[in-house]
Chains A and B, each alone.
Chain A
């Protein structure tokens, strides 16, 4: 068990290092020069100044030296300085990672929970209205683009019926962490989280429904019924625990996808998270910030996979042996 954990940890570190190198290489091979962008925003500069800027940013060195320096710095906890904000990247990300995690986990949690409930109920009554709702939701969720869903929700629930705020994360002046502040954040969170959840809700309700149908037809469910267990126990004790296994697996696998989905949602709702920061950094060729965001996204995915693995082991005893 300890050996397994250590091996997994070593794998994760190796993976993150590879991500670091790969991201760095790709971004530096991509067209676009941060110095030119910066100079453009400054309104022009002399060639000498441009040369100076290049040197101060380390951009005059060959790529492999740059990578080495960068990885070395990261290992010391230094993710560099933002070209645009003139702040350490770590500070920038530190302020933004919380809101993104909040948005992504809320959305994924809502999608899996509601999706499972819908799927489980519709699996038990194959031709009820709920089943049809799940089918319609799936179609809508698969085909509607995220930004369109977001804008529609804003139009209906913020403009036509002003129930939820249009954008941002809070109206409160102070961020003292009190209950009022929390409620205010939740109020702001509702629409972006709903938008992001809707895309995945469709998927999870279908997944849960298919999984539940399969489990309900299994031999051990027949055994449970033959024992004379009441329906409640057959469905919620014997079937459900087996049926959510694929949901847990997919939630872990999809976490990365949901983070990338969050980039669009955060942009639509001006949610102050990593997504908006990433979007801005791309436009501004703010390479260090972008690299930092990519690294932390990868880190979140890795951590999430470990958590999923732990959860899976708690639900399914067969895994412990392997």
Chain B
């Protein structure tokens, strides 16, 4: 157990609260919103899953929490990102640097390219603690070695002198996790952390996440395409579609009783491994159509309507807002609103 390096902040309310976030990219002289009206909270120590089709804005939302939306062409154009009540969208670069890697840190999708090829992994972990805690070189190095052992890298003392190219993809992702956790952040964002790794390694990495969460007590935002991972890892799920949150709720309810037609489609896309094998393989279910690109979206109307078998005239005309559907869940679908009447 590493000794605590920071005093705990004692504040009530959610640890992180995102309010009405809008992120735009400037394309051909026009601001194209890729994330809209996005609000969600994270409590200390919980795990929030974010799922949604490719391009729906998961990564860019994650980057915005660190103030790392590539600018130009992108920027946060509306809303607040409140960390313990402090609005990070108004924070200057120095303040953001104090938050990055220290209060909020991130593990990226690409372990092969996310480490700097010309520095040892020990140095890449150690510099993070040096910058945030002002530790001496020797102390920071010891801490790096300790982190390497925490993330399950064998013979960490010698391995710390290795360069990234000397490690496998799974090992590199462990190093990324070590970097992300070395300052004991309150929030760890993992953006599809195992997509680039093979299946056996994936399971190890998720075990590691669970193990480390118990030890470090960080809240985790887990971005993934894998509903199985969501079921195993998260407490709460947020479903995004074309830049908006369309459903949110506890994992159990999300899997058992999805409300939004898109979420239902998503759940039924999982092949049922539990069914006894038959001679005729069951066809894989897929949601017809493709996600509209941000530029194709009209100002109003449900973005999923063109692909939705239940869509009515109202769906094309008015954007549905999030509607509570019981046990703290919500879905953005007119069907729910109508059913409630």
What residues make up the interface of A, taking CB atoms closer than 8 Å to B? 218-220, 222-231, 233, 238, 241-242, 315-318, 321
**Is the CB of B101 closer than 8 A to any CB of chain A?**
yes
| Residue from B106, B115, B163, B166 in contact with A226 in the complex, judged by beta carbons closer than 8 Å | B106
Which B81-105 residues have C-beta < 8 A from chain A?
Answer: 93-94, 96-102, 105
- Enumerate chain B residues within 8 angstroms of A228, measured Cβ to Cβ: 96-102, 128, 131-132
Interface size on B, residues (CB 8 A): 31
Partner of B165, one of A231, A241, A315, A318: A318
Contact of B113 among A218, A229, A233 (CB under 8 A): A218
Contact pick for A220, options B100, B114, B165, CB 8 Å: B114
Most-contacted residue by chain A among B93, B98, B108 (CB, 10 A): B108
Give residues in B with beta carbon < 8 Å to A: 66, 68, 93-94, 96-102, 105-106, 108, 110, 113-119, 127-128, 131-132, 163, 165-166, 176, 179
Is B131 in contact with A223, judged by CB distance below 8 angstroms?
Answer: no
**Residue with the greatest number of chain A CB neighbours at <10 A, chosen from B101, B102, B166, B176:** B101
- Are the CB atoms of B108 and A230 closer together than 8 Å? no
Give complex CA distance A206, B102 in Å. 37
Q: In the complex, are the beta carbons of A223 and B114 less than 8 A apart? A: yes
A226-B101, A316-B117, A321-B165 known; 16 other A-B pairs, CB under 8 Å?
A218-B113, A219-B113, A220-B114, A220-B115, A222-B68, A222-B108, A223-B108, A225-B100, A226-B106, A227-B179, A228-B102, A229-B97, A229-B128, A233-B127, A316-B118, A317-B165
Q: Is the interface of B mostly helix, strand, loop or mixed?
A: mixed
Q: Are the CB atoms of B163 and A318 closer together than 8 Å?
A: yes
Q: 11 A-B Cβ contacts within 8 A?
A: A219-B110, A227-B179, A228-B99, A228-B100, A229-B97, A229-B127, A229-B131, A231-B93, A233-B131, A242-B116, A317-B118
Using Cβ atoms and an 8 Å threshold, which residues of chain A touch B132? 228
How far is B106's CA from A223's CA once the two chains are assembled, in angstroms?
8
Q: Return chain A residues, CB-CB under 8 Å to B66.
A: 225-226
Contact A227 B101 (CB under 8 A): yes
The answer to whether A223 touches B176, judged by C-beta atoms less than 8 angstroms apart, is yes
A230-B97 in contact (CB<8A): yes
Query: Does A227 contact B114, Cβ atoms closer than 8 Å?
Result: no
Q: How far is the CB of B223 from chain A (nearest CB, A)?
A: 14
Nearest B residue to A320 via CB reads: B163
Q: Which of A220, A222, A224, A225 contacts B117 (CB 8 A)?
A: A220
